[in-house]
Structure 1
């Protein structure tokens, strides 16, 4: 949208997106190839979570951003055989688990995990802080 309005606009390189965000975006693209619809668990004001939902929608999949299990009540999943689930990098594991539990109460689930990138980046403390 901005590029149409400002044709000379130059955006940041994809290398400027943190590795966790890049990995999640790539995972949503892969998930969209097999899922009928996609749920993104995370905050509505999170640009990362909104981008994950947009990527799923751009792939032609119905996609929804939910902040928690209570948001599932407003979502219709009629005709969805394979539901993809992803979350923003900062979404707490407990919230993801609550969404999965709510989905399981709604309908029987068979949960599969797609292979992804193992995130093993280490951020050591500065040497000036010493070792304890």
Structure 2
């Protein structure tokens, strides 16, 4: 058994961006996938397109929102909240090339996730050998 928590993977080829009819979902210059609340019409096409379930429809606002990697905090020189709050220091944020060099055994997909070739997620997972077994059949609760 293992735990996997996925937020937005800020994919290289994000399905949410490709399918958003208004351009509310877009790739920012820093490589992250961002959302423009003003351009969102709440159609949820991005929600239905994302294989990771990252965009979420906010019923009371009638728009979609998603992780923005704490953009305002990063612009102020801080790390994203998830990085700072993780008690095990198991979450890192940075340039993918640097993270790959620091974690050469990390993977971008698991048998229980969408194949990485689908959207090329910018995520590295330090997975146990058991989590990588091809005959692994997870039970989702």
Q: What TM-score do the two structures reach when normalised by structure 1?
A: 0.25
Structure showing greater radius of gyration is 1
> Structure with the greater relative contact order (CA < 8 A, sep ≥ 6): 1 or 2?
1
Higher helix share: 1
